[in-house]
Structures are given as structure tokens and as C-alpha cells.
Chain A
Amino acid sequence: MRIWKFEHNVDTDQIIPAEYLTTGDAKKLAAHAFAKARPEFSKEVKEGDVIVAGENFGCGSSREHAPRALLGAGISCVIARSFARIFFRNSINIGLHLIEADVFDKIEEGDEIEINFEAGVIKNFTKEEEYKFKPLPEFMQKLLDSGGLINYIIKQK
């Protein structure tokens, strides 16, 4: 898992600019992920890569297109100091893993890491370090395990 590092307050306009919001398709959206902020992202991102950012990741517009674009790009998890709440909800509800952890100063662009969600441990192979994080509340973990809110509802029916 390779790291893509971002700053604080990454807004959803950066993740997926408004002019590409004419589709909800994750793969199509992924082709324009970070089109203005980091044009190389959509070309170089690989299945399983991880985003690390500072505070308030995903602020701004409520567009679910943002986490969909990241999911479509193959991002397996976003680790941030904090998330904007609508982005947080959207991600959990569509099955994109998020970790709230203060590793902004520890993990660098290009680092290779591995995440154990159950144990709440991030292993950084590049730095040979380990960081702990607090797993999500039980209800949200249940949503993620079901593959998102819709599958959860279907299972409950």
C-alpha cells in the first residue's frame, strides 16, 4: 500500500471538481480525482493505495462523488487527523474505510504501510514504525463490514 500525502482541509472540490459531477459512476469519477490539485493522481494511483492527510479531510460540498471517486481509484483507506462529517458519513455508508489517527507528521508520501483494522495498528515498513489507532464505533464497523448502508439495510430486511 503506497501513501499519497495531502495537507489539511482537503475539500471535496479538490477531490472531484464540480465540472465532473455529471455522473455518479465511481470508475468514471476516478479518472478526474484530484484533477486540479494533483493531476498525476488519477494516472499513477494503484489499487490498495492509502491517503494520509491532516485535519478536516473532505470538507466543503456534500458530494458523495468524492468518496466514490476515491473508491473507484482503488484507494483502500483514508487516514486523517479528522474528517469533515458529511465525507465521513458518506465514506462509511458506501464502504470506504477511514481511520482517524494523528499520523500526519509520521507517514510520508510514498511510504509503504499495512493496516490491521481489527487490531487498530498501522505498520510503516519504510520507517519501520508502528502506530495504534482507535477502531470505529461498533455500529459504523457493522456498516462497513456489511459493505455499506444499503447492504446493511438489505440484510436487516
Chain B
Amino acid sequence: MMPTIAEKILREKAGKGEKVEAGEILECEVDYIMVNDITGVPAFEVLDELELDEELKKELVVVIQDHYVPNKDVDSAEQAKALRDYARKYGIKNYFEVGKGICHQVMIEEGFAAPGRLIIGADSHTCSYGALGAFSTGIGSTEAAAAMATGRLWFKVPTTQKFVIDGELKQYVMGKDIILHIIGDIGVSGSLYKSQEFYGTAIEKLSLSDRITISNMAVEAGAKAGIIPPDEKVFEFLNGRVRGEYKPVYADGPESEYEEVFEYNASEIVPTVAKPFSPDNTAPASELDVPIDQAYLGSCTNGRIEDLRVAAAILMGKKISPDVRMIVVPASKRVLEQALEEGLIKIFLAADAFVCGPTCGACLGGHMGVLASGECCISTTNRNFIGRMGHKDSEVYLANPAVVAASALKGRIIDPRELEI
């Protein structure tokens, strides 16, 4: 009756016992509301306007400084200060200061994201927590304010597409390649207004980190959510970390209840690159021979310890091309600490890469690696729109950490498998 995870979570959170239909508009209780330094201030300004009689639902609110921090200029400093002041004024306890990490990584590491939860965030990649079996989705600042005030928000129940990826992944093929492959197939509006669910033996074998990459980029196909049924890997990760109770939710309807089913063979997926200026403009890395000026390893998409390990293994004992600057930005303080402990940071520095503390930074063309006109960057991030990382005449190619590291060594985009030939 209630086939998809998205429908089940929304029904539960709307307090509806009966079946809900796709297209129906529900008012749901939310578990958490996240805002960052860009989207937070406008949300709190709206809250000020609301002049609440009661307190806001502050235990649901999570505030994270990550986009333009450490501040890139006076304007962003004022913005971060305003956010800090608001967090104090409204008594927000879940407040994460500069250096704690990129918002989505923090939401996951700090145990806010968990199976069965409904989490909204004023940032489009909030869909990342689908990898833990949550229904999480990006919203705007005004509705974040409304949710902070009432603890509720309206949702249109989406239809769901099912993606089944079976088989073994080849060496140097990661979650990034699976999702780029899918987006290349269905296009950037292929999942518009819809929820995605991922199944199959290849998904089951993936690390949680690689699953997060997949859910993270669901929005790049226009999806509202990208959900992976939670398993032991998720429960283990949450053990000792999760805040409060959680209840996993699984789909239990027949296949026919999905709007569409897509099937892929994991062994046919190769290291994939999305060329400018769209994440669906994909090609095998081996078919490109593009000179690069910058290689970027980081972001909520691929800035986790697993990603750093993959890149470090390729860079170990080598130097990056003299024509390239490589920038390594761990997604959180915890990732940075772990990378230090494992000696990965040493490897990056020995390879002549630049390493800095966690920030969104150059991923959105903010700071710490902005591109000049005519420059080209191979990046583990999630967007390659016009001017995304800097000048409107700069170019961004999206790829997995192995491709980025290998390309940094060669000075051109290559498939990491070519390094061994």
C-alpha cells in the first residue's frame, strides 16, 4: 500500500494513518532544521518579523558556519557575526563555529542525520542524509524560519524512481561515478520533483561515505531526496553518535508502485567526468585529455576520510605536476584529525598540495581556490555550472578523488588506471 520510503516517512511525520498519494500536500513535523552562514541570517530576519509569542523550536535548529568562513571579506564577516548573534539571541545550542566542518558532514558526524527522520536544511545538498535512510531535503530561508517557529512544514508527496545497481565495481570506480553515470543517463531534470531510491548489490557493498556521495548529488538530477535503505553499516556508524532514538523505514510495496525503475550493471561503470557546464554532460575520464590548472579535493560530496585515502594512495611518494595547484580541504575537523593521524596530510604536503581546514570555500567560488578567466579545474565537488568556482570563463570538471589525484600528477584529466600503464 505504502511502497516508497519517502511516502512512508512523510505519512508518519504528518501523523496520517492511511495511505497518502503522490501529489498530495501534507503538513509534517520535522526532526531538524539546518541553516548555514549564507541562508541562516535571512531565516532569522524572517523570524524577527514573525514576532513569536512562543519560543521557537530551538532544539530542532542546527546552525553551522561553513560557506564563507573563515570570513573571506568584511561583508561575509558581518554575515557570520550576524548569524552568531542570532544564535545567541534565540538560544540555539546546536551551533557549530568556524572550523567544525561543512554543514552536511557535520549533520552526519554529529548524529543529527538518522534513518526515518525528516530533516530540512536551507542548503540544496541536504539530500545527503538520504544515505542514512532519512528523508532530507533542501529548502529556502523563509520556510526554514516558518519551520523554526512551528516545527512543521508543508511537503508535496513526491513520486519515486527506483535505481538498481547490481554487480561489482571496478578499481577506481566510486559512488561518484555511479551517480554521475545516472545523471548522465537521466539528465539534470530527470528526477524533477521526485524522490530517488537506490538498491542493488553494488550499493549494499558501498561504504557509507560513497553512499553519501550518491545521495548528495541526487539534487543534481532535480530530485527532492535520494534515499538508500539503511543497513548494518549505517547502524554501526550511528552507534554512540546518534542523538535520540530513530526508527528505520523500508519500502514494502511491489515494484509497480514506483514511477520508474532503472537498472545498471556496476561493472560497466567507468571513472566518469562531468564536463562543463552541467553535471549531466558526462564522459569517461579516459576519453578526455584536458589540461588543468587546479585540482580540488574536498566538499560535502567527496571530502571524507575515505576520499582522502583514495587520493593519498595515488599521490604517495609522488609530486603533482608543476603546472597544477592541488587544493585539499577535508570536509570536517574530524576528517582532518583522522587524516593527520593516518599520515595522509603528510603525503599531500610532500606531493606539494595545499591543505587547509574545513570550509565550503572554493566549491561555490567563495574563496580559497577561486578560478581566474580561462582556467580549468578538475574537482571532486558536485556542480560545474558557468562561473561556479570563479570567473565566468573558467571551467570545472567533476570527478571522483582518484581521477582528481591522478590528473593532478599528470597535469591533464586522465583515468587513474592509465597511471599504471
Verify if B311 is at the interface (C-beta below 8 Å from A): no
Q: Mark A19-50, 1 if CB is under 8 A from B, else 0.
A: 10111100000000000110000000000000
B366–A18 touching, CB < 8 Å: yes
10 contacts between A and B (CB under 8 A): A13-B388, A18-B365, A22-B73, A60-B124, A62-B122, A63-B39, A84-B189, A84-B192, A93-B142, A150-B146
Verify if B364 is at the interface (C-beta below 8 Å from A): yes
Q: Mark A131-157, 1 if CB is under 8 A from B, else 0.
A: 000000101100000001110011001
Task: Determine how close the nearest CB of chain B comes to the CB of A12; give it in whole angstroms.
Answer: 8
Verify if B338 is at the interface (C-beta below 8 Å from A): no
Assembled-state Cα–Cα distance A137/B154 (Å): 13
B39–A62 touching, CB < 8 Å: yes
Q: Enumerate A103-118 residues with CB–CB distance to B below 8 Å.
A: none
By a CB distance below 8 angstroms, the chain A residues around B150 are 153
Of A21, A60, A93, A157, the contact of B140 (CB 8 Å cutoff):
A93
Task: Determine how close the nearest CB of chain A comes to the CB of B406; give it in whole angstroms.
Answer: 28
In the complex with contacts A13-B385, A84-B222, A150-B46, A139-B154 CB distance below 8 A: yes
Verify if B38 is at the interface (C-beta below 8 Å from A): yes
A residues whose Cβ falls under 8 Å from a Cβ of B:
9, 11, 13-14, 17-19, 21-24, 36-37, 55-56, 59-65, 67-68, 82, 84-86, 89-90, 93-94, 137, 139-140, 148-150, 153-154, 157
By a CB distance below 8 angstroms, the chain A residues around B46 are 150
By a CB distance below 8 angstroms, the chain A residues around B146 are 93, 149-150, 153
By a CB distance below 8 angstroms, the chain B residues around A37 are 386, 392
B188–A59 touching, CB < 8 Å: yes
In the complex with contacts A9-B189, A61-B124, A93-B143, A56-B222 CB distance below 8 A: yes
A86–B154 touching, CB < 8 Å: no
Assembled-state Cα–Cα distance A23/B366 (Å): 14
In the complex with contacts A56-B192, A139-B25, A85-B222 CB distance below 8 A: yes
Q: Mark B64-79, 1 if CB is under 8 A from A, else 0.
A: 0001100001011011
Of B73, B76, B189, the contact of A55 (CB 8 Å cutoff):
B189
Task: Please name the residue on chain A nearest to B46 by beta carbon.
Answer: A150
Q: Enumerate B57-94 residues with CB–CB distance to A below 8 Å.
A: 67-68, 73, 75-76, 78-79
By a CB distance below 8 angstroms, the chain A residues around B53 are 157
A90–B142 touching, CB < 8 Å: yes
By a CB distance below 8 angstroms, the chain A residues around B222 are 56, 59, 84-85
Please tell me the number of chain B residues within 8 Å of chain A, measured between CB atoms: 49
By a CB distance below 8 angstroms, the chain A residues around B143 are 89-90, 93, 149
Task: Determine how close the nearest CB of chain A comes to the CB of B169; give it in whole angstroms.
Answer: 28
B residues whose Cβ falls under 8 Å from a Cβ of A:
25, 38-39, 41-42, 45-46, 49-50, 53, 67-68, 73, 75-76, 78-79, 122-124, 126, 138-143, 145-146, 149-150, 154, 188-189, 192-193, 219, 222, 224, 278, 364-366, 383, 385-388, 392
A22–B68 touching, CB < 8 Å: yes
Nearest 4 interchain pairs by C-beta = A24-B42, A22-B75, A90-B140, A64-B140
Having A11-B383, A150-B146, one finds 14 other A-B pairs with CB under 8 Å, namely A13-B383, A14-B386, A19-B365, A22-B75, A61-B124, A62-B124, A63-B39, A82-B192, A84-B222, A90-B140, A139-B154, A150-B142, A153-B149, A153-B150
In the complex with contacts A17-B365, A93-B142, A9-B188 CB distance below 8 A: yes
A19–B122 touching, CB < 8 Å: no
B78–A22 touching, CB < 8 Å: yes
In the complex with contacts A64-B39, A149-B146, A94-B383 CB distance below 8 A: no
B387–A13 touching, CB < 8 Å: yes
By a CB distance below 8 angstroms, the chain B residues around A18 are 364-366, 388
B188–A56 touching, CB < 8 Å: yes
Assembled-state Cα–Cα distance A137/B124 (Å): 24
By a CB distance below 8 angstroms, the chain A residues around B142 are 64, 90, 93-94, 148-150
Assembled-state Cα–Cα distance A82/B46 (Å): 28
Task: Determine how close the nearest CB of chain A comes to the CB of B354; give it in whole angstroms.
Answer: 21
Assembled-state Cα–Cα distance A23/B79 (Å): 7
Task: Please name the residue on chain A nearest to B45 by beta carbon.
Answer: A24
By a CB distance below 8 angstroms, the chain A residues around B45 are 24
By a CB distance below 8 angstroms, the chain A residues around B139 are 62, 86, 89-90
A63–B38 touching, CB < 8 Å: yes
Task: Determine how close the nearest CB of chain B comes to the CB of A16; give it in whole angstroms.
Answer: 11
Assembled-state Cα–Cα distance A18/B39 (Å): 12
Task: Please name the residue on chain A nearest to B78 by beta carbon.
Answer: A22
A86–B124 touching, CB < 8 Å: yes
B50–A153 touching, CB < 8 Å: yes
By a CB distance below 8 angstroms, the chain B residues around A9 are 188-189, 278
Task: Please name the residue on chain A nearest to B79 by beta carbon.
Answer: A22
Assembled-state Cα–Cα distance A149/B143 (Å): 7
B140–A154 touching, CB < 8 Å: no
By a CB distance below 8 angstroms, the chain A residues around B387 are 13-14, 17, 36
